[in-house]
Structure 1
Amino acid sequence: MRPSSTSLMIVLPAKTVCLSASGHQRRLVARAASLPVIAWLYGGGFYTGGANVPYQNPIQWVERSQKHIVVSINYRLNIFGFPNGAGLASTEQNLGFLDQRLGLEWIRSNIANFGGDPKRITLWGQSAGAMSADFYNFAYPEDPIVHGYILHSGTAQIALSVDANNHSNFTYVASHLGCANLTAAAELSCLRRVPEKEIISFIENQSNTGVVPSLAFSYVPDNRIIFPNYTTRALSGRFSKKPALIGTTTNEGAAFAAYDRTSGPDPAEATFYTLSTFLCPTVQTTRDRYAAGAPTFRYLYGGNFSNISPQWWEGAYHSSDLPLVFGTSGIARGESTSFEKEVQDQMQDYWVAFAEDPVGGLKRVGWEEYEPEGGGVLFAWEGVVRQGIGVGKLEGACEGLVPKEGARPP
């Protein structure tokens, strides 16, 4: 949970810079030559997360490449970022998304001072961060700031929003913190005076003890950033149409299904989560983008490395691809294998190639745009670092669940 205002962490080749909205704290600042910039949005279900998660630290990646900059954008979460309070206007409910936009505006205006190229900014996110990036794609079609998107395990097609007209969670918190039985405006004003530490403590206690109701704060449709039908908007061309690198992992659902530590989750339940929440929405997004003429590159990650997935049944679970890109797979449970390092280097190089040139960077290394009769790239599968995967294997499990794509416009 993150109550504070927008802040940034910039990782340059050999240097790190920390910035916050309240002031600049600079250490080891160095200028570099007009490098491509990757802006990172963390996941966490819009409930938890932050730019200081150890396995999401890009220092190793940036040090290895010496060719790009990574900026991690902190944004408000939970009740602070997505309050859904009755006293707020409908356009002021998704505050965390406004933080993300503010972060990108700052990057555009200032990254040249740190050696970055403001015309080559790629927005990268995972899970809720990837959803955020895709929402952003639709919210700012005329001025996206970025020139490409990288979406790990999340798109705008994933449905997690709460009922915009149900303000009970906000009122429940307010009523337990001395703001009960008030008008909507008075309730909001009262809760704003409660110290943020008290709000955090109450919500954490509510969550950790399993007390009913479960307090789920998430984004709500507002027709400013969140819209009701993304396929309709995509097919009518109401998004930025910037190139996107989009993918999922082969066993996303293992991270969400109930499981026995020895035998793992029920395979059917894990598969259900993998398909319904991640793979099939990604297929829908890919097909919509193709029909709208937006360049898309698809990948599937299948790595099963013991220092990332210690249980035999975990495999390529949700977020298990991130340590490969960040270069942090060896920080927790032992050194990476030589094969794991090969996969890491390949993925890192491809992601940088996309950031350098979202249209042609991947094509130059033999990765073609998505087409219905084509496919994508499969990483870390059966001892092969990178291999092609046909559309049947990539999307076949979603047939009947996702409509066929329409004809691509000329």
Structure 2
Amino acid sequence: MKLHLFSSFLIATTTALPQAIPHDECPVNTTSGLIIGHPSHDRPCVDEYLGIRYGKADRFMPSQAYSSKEAHHADNFGNECPCENGVNGELPGQQNTETESRIMGYFLEIYKNVTMSDDCLFLNVWSKRNSNDRKLKPVFVWAYGGHWATGQTNTPFYYGQYLADQEDIVVVTFNYRFSIFGFGKDSEGLKDGRLALEWVRNNIKAFGGDPEQITLGGHSAGAFLADILSFAYPQDPIAQSYILQSGTATTLPAGDPSVRDEGFRNVSKALGCNDEVDEVACLQNKDLREVAAAATKQRYPTGSLKVVFGPTIDNKTVFTPSEYARRGKEGTFGKGPTLLGNADYEQGFYKLQYWAFDKLHLAEKFLYSLVQRIATCPAAQAAEWRAKTAPTWRYRYFGEYPSLALYGPNVNGSSPGSQAYHGSELTLVWGTYEPLTLVAGNAELKAMSKYMMNAWAAFIRDPHHGLEAFGWPKYNASGDTLVHLGKNDAAWMELGNSSEYDHLGDVSCATVMLDNK
């Protein structure tokens, strides 16, 4: 029997709109043309611009900036980029919750409620209408995660109207290519991210945003992307500050081009293109779902989180672990203030995925070791590097709320429930837990979400000092400066020492990262 939760409905509010602009039209001039937005359906004082084309690209090819003088009604999200096949499951002896299918369905794109296409380089903007305030607003640009295999902006996880409404910041989300489509021949997906940032710099002022106050954030692979770009463009990062949630440039060692090329050949062979003179041209003409399905089968050995089609070392945009270490110690990266951290039980997500893909019920000891290598220790390393160049804050998220749980513990308690799993904090930051789950959050969840939205926005508004008002100390590995969020369901923060977590058994995180290749 599934865990029972009380469902609820969102009630839209209404607000009078200025008479100078029709209720359903909010026109803005951009390099992509005249973009005509509309009030968000449940936050009508927020203007919403969906599906703005920022780039164009043929399959596997570099993206180019898009330019137009035509009018575009930005009423719907644009096409989503092709993804690999997501898989969901249920751990033996552990019952999934009623909301698990929606949470994982949207997280893994199992709910394919959008059109996938190679023509997918679109972004979205939310900006609160302030008729009497002409001061430019800080901008939050967000890159979704998905392990370089899935991801989309048209998901309740990242509906931007709630954050824009409550915190009065401009919110931007963008599509970028992944899997074989973004990383089949080169790291084109990263270049998509750079192109989106350039579009924001060139156009966001028209939406009321300040191009000199851009925070680039992301979760998981999206955080990898944000941090990788900061290393790739240290002299012109565009972003002035960073929010890295469960990911850094060194979380997953960059791939070997030879492994990627072998994977591309395997996909080509599977689809009958290996005998073609130009296998790229052949694969460009194949159905994208067939290509995606073939790419899903190209994997590293079980137990590795590395991906065949992800960022690969080219020593221009993506570097070796030793080169990242050199650049990190020297401060050769975008030196903006940084807010970073991870969830306390990241493996709560991963063990469900290992079972879904490989029917492996992995031991807690193995999962702990894995998470230390890909989450805790990379965060410790990045925090150390960044704290030497700019104000840096580090958090650890502990929140556990019934409506966001994926599954419960087994009967004898030897295998815990999902707890504070990978990505469990996302809807609190975005204020989207109810649109995602269709379940009313309890009082503790609502209070913690408000706190986190306030804190994240304080950093976005003033990356150098905003979090001081919340009592957050700047990160220092030797002091009690690790911010605990949602511990024991408290709607505030507590302070702890990172040394409690920054190790793998008796081995320090510094040593772990030396071996993390």
* TM tier, smaller: 0.7 to 0.9
Matched, 1:42 2:131: no
CA distance in 2, matches of 1:233, 1:159: 17
Name which of 353, 360, 363 aligns with 2:458: 353
Name which of 373, 376, 380 aligns with 1:276: 373
Distance 1:302 1:173, change over 3 A: same
Q: Tell me whether 383-392 or 127-136 shows the greater mean CA deviation.
A: 383-392
Name which of 310, 332, 346 aligns with 1:218: 310
After the TM superposition, which residues 280-359 of structure 1 pair with which residues of structure 2 at under 5 Å, given as runs?
280-290=377-387, 292-312=388-408, 313-331=417-435, 332=437, 334-359=439-464
Residues 264-284 of structure 1 show CA distances to partners (whole Å, capped at 9, x for unaligned) of: 863223322321211111111
Aligned partner letter, 2:138:
P
Superposed CA RMSD in Å reads 2.8
Normalising by structure 1, report the TM-score. Answer: 0.85
Counterpart position of 1:20: 53
Aligned partner letter, 2:226:
A
Counterpart position of 2:174: 73
Counterpart position of 2:190: 97
User: Gaps spanning 5+ residues in structure 1: where?
Assistant: 1-5, 85-92, 405-410
What is the DSSP-based 3-state SS (H/G/I as helix, E as strand, rest coil) of the residue aligned with 1:330?
A: helix
Alpha carbons 1:15, 1:29 under 8 Å: kept: yes
Q: Tell me whether 28-37 or 295-304 shows the greater mean CA deviation.
A: 28-37
Alpha carbons 2:394, 2:475 under 8 Å: kept: yes
Alpha carbons 2:340, 2:394 under 8 Å: kept: yes
What is the DSSP-based 3-state SS (H/G/I as helix, E as strand, rest coil) of the residue aligned with 1:388?
A: strand
Residues 289-333 of structure 1 show CA distances to partners (whole Å, capped at 9, x for unaligned) of: 23x433210001001111111423100000001010111122315
Distance 1:213 1:364, change over 3 A: closer
User: Gaps spanning 5+ residues in structure 2: where?
Assistant: 1-31, 55-65, 76-125, 302-306, 409-416, 512-517
Matched, 1:171 2:265: yes
What is the DSSP-based 3-state SS (H/G/I as helix, E as strand, rest coil) of the residue aligned with 1:154?
A: coil
Alpha carbons 2:338, 2:463 under 8 Å: kept: yes
What is the DSSP-based 3-state SS (H/G/I as helix, E as strand, rest coil) of the residue aligned with 2:400?
A: coil
Identity value in percent:
31
Distance 1:296 1:20, change over 3 A: same
CA distance in 2, matches of 1:9, 1:377: 42
Aligned partner letter, 1:154:
G
Alpha carbons 1:160, 1:218 under 8 Å: kept: no
After the TM superposition, which residues 6-405 of structure 1 pair with which residues of structure 2 at under 5 Å, given as runs?
14-18=46-50, 19-21=52-54, 24-27=72-75, 32=130, 33=134, 34-65=136-167, 67-84=168-185, 93-166=186-259, 167-182=261-276, 186-192=278-284, 194-195=285-286, 198-204=287-293, 207=296, 216-228=308-320, 229-257=323-351, 266-290=363-387, 292-312=388-408, 313-331=417-435, 332=437, 334-374=439-479, 375-385=481-491, 386-395=493-502, 400-403=507-510
Q: 1:176: how far off?
A: 3.4
Q: Tell me whether 388-397 or 351-360 shows the greater mean CA deviation.
A: 388-397
CA distance in 2, matches of 1:118, 1:126: 22
CA distance in 2, matches of 1:133, 1:211: 25
Aligned partner letter, 1:20:
R
Q: Tell me whether 30-39 or 40-49 shows the greater mean CA deviation.
A: 30-39
What is the DSSP-based 3-state SS (H/G/I as helix, E as strand, rest coil) of the residue aligned with 2:351?
A: coil
Q: 1:168: how far off?
A: 1.5
Q: 1:120: how far off?
A: 0.6
What is the DSSP-based 3-state SS (H/G/I as helix, E as strand, rest coil) of the residue aligned with 1:191?
A: helix
Q: 1:46: how far off?
A: 1.0
Normalising by structure 2, report the TM-score. Answer: 0.68
Alpha carbons 2:406, 2:418 under 8 Å: kept: yes
CA distance in 1, matches of 2:326, 2:239: 23
CA distance in 2, matches of 1:299, 1:239: 21
Q: Tell me whether 265-274 or 299-308 shows the greater mean CA deviation.
A: 265-274
Residues 26-46 of structure 1 show CA distances to partners (whole Å, capped at 9, x for unaligned) of: 359876541111000000011
What is the DSSP-based 3-state SS (H/G/I as helix, E as strand, rest coil) of the residue aligned with 2:257?
A: coil
